[in-house]
Amino acid sequence: MAGGGVAALGVKKERAAEYKGRMTWYVGMTCLIAAVGGAIFGYDIGISGGVTSMDPFLKEFFPVVYRKKNSGGQNNYCKYDNQGLASFTSSLYLAGLVATLGASPVTRNYGRRASIVCGGISFLIGATLNAAAKNLAMLILGRIMLGVGIGFGNQ
């Protein structure tokens, strides 16, 4: 029914044949770059899910969760029920949402290049903070910066 929806908007089927658009290198690269934003989100979901169940990570940043995980009498839901762990996981996604909305004026006023550069710098800062994290606050701040980078990249 997509053709019917287009016809209802006033585009005649005869005019569709007049469209001379084609797949170019620029269009292909634009689509590829746009897809990378979604791939980064998906990659982060897989990585953060695996990392949050690793014993060395839990010992370092979430010792309460580590003790719950290694105790025998609880189900898996109760083992990972922790506000800090939830903050770690969700901070990137919330920051990405807010940054996507905030990146719109940057893109409109300064252009796409400035928006992409801001996203890249934010992502680099976030990756550095996460790699050098010594405590939970530093880890969450790194995740927020990663989210800002992903949000700007998606914009």
Task: Say which amino acid occupies 138.
Answer: M
Task: Say which amino acid occupies 85.
Answer: L
Among the residue ranges 3-12, 55-64, 81-90, 122-131, the one predicted with the least confidence is 3-12
Note the pTM of the prediction, 2 decimals: 0.73
pLDDT(8) > 50:
no
Query: What is the spatial distance between Cα 147 and Cα 64, in angstroms, rounded to a whole number?
Result: 26
Handedness of CA 104, 106, 109, 111 (dihedral sign): negative
Q: What is the mean pLDDT of the chain?
A: 83
Q: How far is CA 32 from CA 35, 36, 65, 112, in A?
A: 5, 6, 39, 16
Evaluate whether 144 touches 88 at the Cβ level (below 8 Å).
no
pLDDT for the residue numbered 5: 47
pLDDT digits (tens, 9 = 90+) for 9-66: 555 667 767 767 778 888 888 888 778 777 877 787 788 888 888 889 989 998 888 8
pLDDT(72) > 50:
yes
